Every structure is written in structure tokens, then in C-alpha cells.
Chains A and B, each alone.
Chain A
Amino acid sequence: MLSAEGLRHAFGEGGGQVVALDGVSFNLTSGQTLAVFGPNGAGKTTLLKVLAGLIRPQEGSVRVAGGRRAIGWIGHQSHLYEHLTVRENLLFWASLYGVPAARRGPRATEVLSRLGMGDRADQPVWSLSRGLAQRAAIAKALIHDPSVLLLDEPFTGLDLAAAAELRALLGELRGGGAGGRVVVLATHNVDEGVELATDVAFQRRGRFVHFAPRGGRGSSEIAEAYRRAVGGKETDG
């Protein structure tokens, strides 16, 4: 459903070259959530951008079943237009993703209801709080019912309660088994993403220095493994 093979990408040239991806490979199927932990500058965002097709890797390839239409992206920026209402934003993005015109309105209503934002549909985005704007961003990412979700530090800027709420929501959205979505979550904070993960990777200087199923490991065990593998606190940088 989502596979990466031998990804390599570097920025800059010569002595100033920064390797953002170095031999990253994995294969994820329905219902799997890969949490990629790493300090700032480890190459997590570059990995997501390569998976989303925003950056063409210098080496390696990415395969996404369903192509770009299958991808939903949630980052710390909402991609929403402040002076459009939440519904207008969703209808615009739905049209770009090829949702049939007759389905766009009902689909927007359905997604907003699911996210508990039905009563905010006609509010302009600029009037929403940070937490609600993040929900609206999730609604935007889900409007075309993507089978692959890419999450880039989605908890940034949220308070503890809003972050917990978002984690619960993402867990629900992920689904499970053959009908579930593939999720790749990149974060520098082990506590934020470990509950959602079926698989865990630690990224350092572009490389996956650890990549394994999470198994029954809790956040403290993952954090300890992270410290051993990466050699610092998860909140480095």
C-alpha cells in the first residue's frame, strides 16, 4: 500500500552537504501506523515530503497504491485559507481531489460531524482556535477519504488536552486490519506518538537506526530504546 525503497536525499553540496535521507526502506500495509521518531534535523519532514511527492528523492523510489489521490497530509500548518469558511475550504479541496460534485457537500458534512465540528462549518477559518483549526486541517486531509495519512508533527502548538484529544481522534481514524489506513507519523516526541504506532522507527541523520514492530512496548521502553539508538533525549533540538 505504501512502500519506500532505498531512499536517499541530500541538501547542499560538498562539505556543507546535509544528508536528510540515507537508505530508508519500508513497506506498510492497511492498518499499519509507522511512528518515526528523531531529533530536529534528522530528516523526518524530508521523508514525509518524499512520500507525499513534494520532493523527488535523488535515489530510491516510493510507491503509493492509488497515487497522489490516496494521500492525506496533516502537518503543523493547516493548509486552510483563513478567509474562507471551513465548509468552503473543504469543498475546494474536495474538488481538487476529484470528489464528484454531488458528493462534496454531503462528504464535508459527514467529515465535520465526525470531527465534532458540524456547528463550525460556516465559520471563517481565521475565527477558529488553534485546536479547532487543527481539527479543520484533519477534516481537510480526510475529505477525499485517503488510504494513506502522512502526519508531520501534528501536535505542535497544541496544549496537553488538545493533543490528547487529537491522539484519540487519530487512533479512531486509523482504523485497523485490512480496511484500515496506512499512517506515517513523524515527531520528535516519543510520548506523543507511541500509542498510535504499530511500528516504530528512529531516524538519525537520515538513517533508520531502528525499525521494528512496536509489539507490547510502552512509551518508557520506546523512550529508553530511543536513547540507546539515537544517543540523546527525544526532545533534542
Chain B
Amino acid sequence: MGELIAQAWRVARKDLVLEFRTRTALVSAVVFTALVLTVFNFGRDPTAVPTIDLAPTILWVTFTFAAMLTLNRAFQLELENQALEGLLVSPLSRTSLYWGKLIANLVFVAVVEGVGLPLFVLFFDVPVGHVLAPLIGVIALATLGFVAVGTLFSALVMRTRFAELLLVVILLPFLVPPLIGAVQVTARLLGGRPLSESVGYLKLLAAYDIVFVSLASLLFRFTVDE
């Protein structure tokens, strides 16, 4: 187990170094996040629908699509000089490879969310100070689930034409459960309701994480093996 995690970390660290050196996907995702929040900020009538009712949906739609921009690059960079072939020849286990990609994607999405959340507070004037810790917890819980599925699917589509489009099409239906849960919990938190009211949705998010991280770890080898 220790070696599996150590190998996964080596893959993740390499991806992080590459991304922070080239900043291709990360900058795009951060700029996308800022633009979407700006558009939503100016493209709505605050007198028609109260901000607090719209804000959770806007937050999660933004996070989801921004995350997709970063998920796409996870395996695209392995196609450069056929590095993936080298990884598959090496003693690196398929599970470590998947976990490595998952860790790197989680860091990228966390960075995007770390930029997006303050912008969201700024644009929508939503006070989050009193619920910051549980809000971050919900974001982490939902993010783990959809990044786990997204990482698996980005491996599945990497060799296809229009991989970026295909990823969105096949991934979105799988994101419905965590998105519903995340939006509902976020709405209750921002509405000043106690966390105990959201236990059902929190269980849904936790179950989704456990099921899909396990399933993706088991199925990943079928997406990369010839």
C-alpha cells in the first residue's frame, strides 16, 4: 500500500511540476472561473430572484465547468512523446497511475476553487465567514467525487477525436448526483440553516466518493491497457 501511494505521489508531483511550469490548463480554468462569475454577476436581475437562491447553483456550475478544463489535460500531457507507453512499460501499477492523476487533478481543481470562492463572495456579496469551514468541507467532498469520475473518463477519451467535447458529454450525467448534493448543502449553509439539516445530502456525497473512487481505481486499467 505504501509503495502504491509513493508511486502515485511521484506521478502527481511530476504533473504538478509540469502544470505549474507551463500553466496551460490552470490559467485557462482560473480565467474561465473569473469570467463566468463576472457574466453571472452582471447578467442577472437581483430584484427578480434573490441572490441567495441563485448563488449556490452559480457557484457549482462554475466549479464544474472550470474543473473540466483541468481534467482534460491530465492524460493529454501523457500523449506527448508517448510518455504513457513508458509509464505502462514501467513497474508503475495502473492503480498508482490513476491515483497520481487523481491527486494532481484534485490539487488543480482546489486551486481553481481557491480562486473562485473569494471571487464568488466578492461578486455576489454572500457572507460565508460563519460557514467557511463546513462550506470548504462540502466543496472538498463533492470535488473528490466528480474529479474521481472525471479522471477516469479523461483516460477513456484521451485517444479519441474531439476528446475535450466527448469528456463533457459523457461526464455530465455522472455529475448530477454530486452536483445536486453540493448545491443543496451549499444553499442550506448560505441560508443560515444548521448542518444537521443536510445530513442526507452529505451521506449521498460521501457514498458517491467511496463508490466512484473505488470503481474508478478498479476500472482504470481497462482504459489504458491495449
Query: Could you list which residues of chain A lie within 8 angstroms of chain B, going by C-beta atoms?
Result: 49, 52-56, 67-69, 71, 73, 75, 77-84, 88, 92-93, 95-98, 125, 140
Query: Could you list which residues of chain B lie within 8 angstroms of chain A, going by C-beta atoms?
Result: 7, 10, 14, 17-18, 21-22, 77, 80-83, 85-92, 225-226
Report how many A-B pairs have Cβ atoms within 8 Å. Answer: 65
CA distance A84 to B80 in the complex (A): 12
- Residue of B77, B85, B225 near A75 (CB, 8 A) is B85
| 22 A-B contacts (beta carbon < 8 Å) | A53-B88, A53-B89, A54-B85, A54-B88, A54-B89, A69-B91, A71-B89, A73-B86, A77-B81, A77-B85, A78-B81, A79-B81, A79-B83, A79-B85, A80-B81, A84-B21, A92-B14, A93-B90, A96-B90, A96-B91, A97-B90, A97-B91
A-B pairs with lowest CB-CB distance, top 6: A79-B86, A77-B82, A96-B90, A78-B81, A68-B91, A52-B89
Which chain A positions have C-beta within 8 A of B225?
54, 56
- Residue of B81, B85, B89 near A82 (CB, 8 A) is B81
Closest chain A CB from B192 CB (angstroms): 47
- Residue of B18, B22, B86 near A93 (CB, 8 A) is B86
CA distance A97 to B91 in the complex (A): 6
Closest chain A CB from B116 CB (angstroms): 26
Closest chain B CB from A196 CB (angstroms): 21
- Residue of A69, A73, A83, A96 near B22 (CB, 8 A) is A83
Which chain B positions have C-beta within 8 A of A81?
14, 18, 77, 80-81, 83
